[in-house]
Structure 1
Amino acid sequence: MGNALRFLLGKCCKPEADSDHGASAVSALAHDLYSFEITHQVPRELSGHVVSSRKAQSNWYQKLSEAWRETKPPPKTPEEASRLVIQTLKRHKKEDVEGLLAYYGLPLPHTLVDLTDGAVPLQPHGLKFELHTLPVDPRAVADGDTITVYVSTSDPRESSLVPREVHIAASQRAQARSRRDYSVADKLHRDIIDSGYRVITLQNEDVLARKYRIRLRGIDAPESKMPYGEEAKEELVKIVQDRCLRVLVFDEDRYHRCVGDVYCNGVFVQEVMLKKGMAWHYKAYDNRPELDKWEKQARARRVGLWASKNPEMPWEWRKDRREGR
């Protein structure tokens, strides 16, 4: 079995226990591709969703298995899995491609948004610094435009910024854990956390990392208690969970959050949020024309919050709450 399939099966191929429909869809496809590599059999029920023969279906699964194995990292989100299927089977019948996607509950072609290449200028105007994060915990997504991330202190920029007392506490914590004095280790870790750092275990190794709160530059998503607030948060979680991000920081807001552009595997996260109708272009703080264009595209398609006739602007909603309306 290919490494990509082995990885995905190990991480998420438990559809019966998975509460997230999207993850179940991706893992179901990965499971069937793995099974095909062993048995050369496609799911029997698939014939009820497509028009071509079982022999043709076997040809699709052979192609998909090879494409999945070659994709690094392998698809994690329904959108990524759907795009791989569409690209791999682009010369096949539309009814078959859409039927295969529908069988697994993956997004159909007309529901996917077209994205730009996500290329970043070598020296974006106003850039203060750049962060490369550790994988994002989905619980660290506060809402549709705010994420808490961690950056390893082995990063060249971070290594010189770590306070001496944090270095000492991290070293003492490691010693306490080695002698199984977990109460002391936990207290030291609380001190580290209070200083804006955390020890994160990755691949059985402890990594000292610095905490950053990131406010996505140029967009304003509905607040959690607003219509589409939860949907916006869930969309952002789908994009960034368990991924390492590239964050270009341009400013700091009054809540001490870093205001920045966020990229995930080369995808510009703000573009996805705007095109899916999960955020407004925050024109009061960012006048980039491309953001305005992406919002207008979502408005025209009436997707996300634009399905409502007159959605309330989050900045107006916050103002009303401050004034007790």
Structure 2
Amino acid sequence: STTTTSSRRRELRKMGNALRYLYGECCKPTPSSPPHKPHQPLGPHGITPATVGVSALAHDLFHFEITSQVPDGLSQHVVSSRRAQANWYKKLSVAWKEAKPPPRTAEDAARLVVLTLKGHKKADVEGFLLFYGLPPPQHTLIEASGIPSSWPEGVKFELHTLPVGPKDVGDGDTINVYVDTADPRESATVPREVHEAAIERANARAMKDYGRGRELQKRITEEGYRVIDGPMNDGILARKYRIRLRGIDAPENKMPYGEEAKEELDKIVQGKHLTVQVYGEDRYGRSVGDVYCNGIFVQEVMLRKGLAWHYVAYDKRPEFALWEQEAKAARIGLWASAIPEKPWEWRTYNRRNDA
């Protein structure tokens, strides 16, 4: 009935307003209150400061499909008419449905908005993002540099890794990677005892002697290798490399923004094949290199998102300084702090205290 439909519309409008109010009250930091942690729940439905804007936008798109009404209050943030606003929601509704997977984070939602409303007035796009508490355009369309056509000066060799596993990211600048020993660079250097242990392990597993299989896997791991089991019970013998991202220094895990840096790096590389251009080893035996994921230069992303410092003592590339300066000027990531602590100073201080 007409009464039921009107009631449903009012209910949907109230829900959207409540979500945006929740963002305004609980997510935006104020001078008198510290910012919320990104994943701190705001209520019983799993909504967090990081996702409340996404939830509000998803709700409003659903509401628009039913009622053809745009949210109350949007006109205070944009310059175009409500008729133009309706056109935006029509486009966004289609784009949201076609997105696979649909946006789950504020970054994902902002990117979809910017790409869908490309060509519209800048003030409208920025106002729309502000209305939902989504990050501004310069933070959502980071197009990191691709893999260079030739090796940069100082690169000694290049690794092509197997997909990064769920526990392989140690912090915001360190990754454990595995390279298939069938790779020509690796095949000639695998110790004989490792080859033999891998064969024996495969036979033990075929006989369902899993205890012996675990024992042999441990022996292989101690030699710096690992058998990675596939879905068909086939195993890939791979060499382990610990990679230290060259030229950046992310906050340690126990520092402010340390967990955020680790999570961002994990989000970039998880389940992906990497290309690593290695310059050498550091004093901890880690391979120091430039890391590329699907053509994206990982160090660039970390610097431009304010989740790492330019480690100028070890790398003087001017583009690194520029990317750091961009994040600093935008006050994003660790640069939101007035005086962020330098990770190398933090490590020195904690080593002295532990001594």
Unmatched 5+ stretches in structure 2: 1-43, 75-81
Is 1:187 matched up with 2:206? Answer: no
2:345 to 313, 316, 325: 316
C-alpha distance in structure 1 between counterparts of 2:50 and 2:293, whole Å:
18
1:321 to 1:63, Cα distance in 2 relative to 1, 3 A: closer
Number of the residue aligned with 1:13 = none
Task: Mark the structure with the bigger radius of gyration.
Answer: 2
How far apart, CA to CA, are the structure 2 residues paired with 1:75 and 1:196? 39
Amino acid paired to 1:261: D
Q: Which amino acid aligns with 2:229?
A: T
Provide the alpha-carbon RMSD of the alignment: 3.7
Between the aligned residues of both structures, percent identity stands at 54
Structure 1 residues 293 and 256, CA gap change in structure 2 (3 angstroms): same
Deviation at 1:86, TM superposition (A): 3.1
Instruction: Report matched runs for 1:124-163 at 5 Å.
Output: 124-163=152-191
DSSP-derived class of the 1:320 partner = helix
Asked if structure 2 preserves the Cα contact closer than 8 Å seen for 1:147 and 1:214, the reply is yes
Moved more, 105-114 or 269-278: 105-114
1:235 to 264, 268, 275: 264
| Partner SS, residue 353 of structure 2 | coil
In 2, the alpha carbon distance for the partners of 1:17 and 1:165 equals 54
**Of the candidates 201, 214, 219, which is equivalent to residue 248 of structure 2?**
219
Are residues 1:86 and 2:114 paired?
yes
- In the superposition, the TM-score normalised over structure 2's length comes to 0.70
Classify the secondary structure of the residue corresponding to 2:167: helix
Name the residue aligned to 2:34: none
Alignment of 1:278-297 (within 5 A): 278-297=307-326
Deviations along 1:186-231, one digit per CA (max 9) or x if unpaired, are: 1111111111111223443422211110000001111112222112
Give 3-state SS (helix, strand or coil) of 1:139's partner: coil
8 Å CA contact retained: 2:129, 2:136 = no
Q: In structure 2, do the counterparts of structure 1 residues 59 and 280 end up closer, same or farther at CA, with 3 Å as the change threshold?
A: closer
Superposed CA offset, 1:125-151 (max 9, x none) = 111111111111232111111111111
Give, in whole Å, the separation in 2 of the partners of 1:25 and 1:128: 46
Q: Which runs of 5+ in 1 are unaligned?
A: 1-15, 33-41
Q: Distance in 1 between matches of 2:102 and 2:267?
A: 15
Tell me the residue number matched to 1:109: 137
CA-to-aligned-CA distance 1:101-155 (integer Å, 9 cap, x gap): 987x975535325334324141211111111111112321111111111111222
Q: Does 1:268 align with 2:297?
A: yes
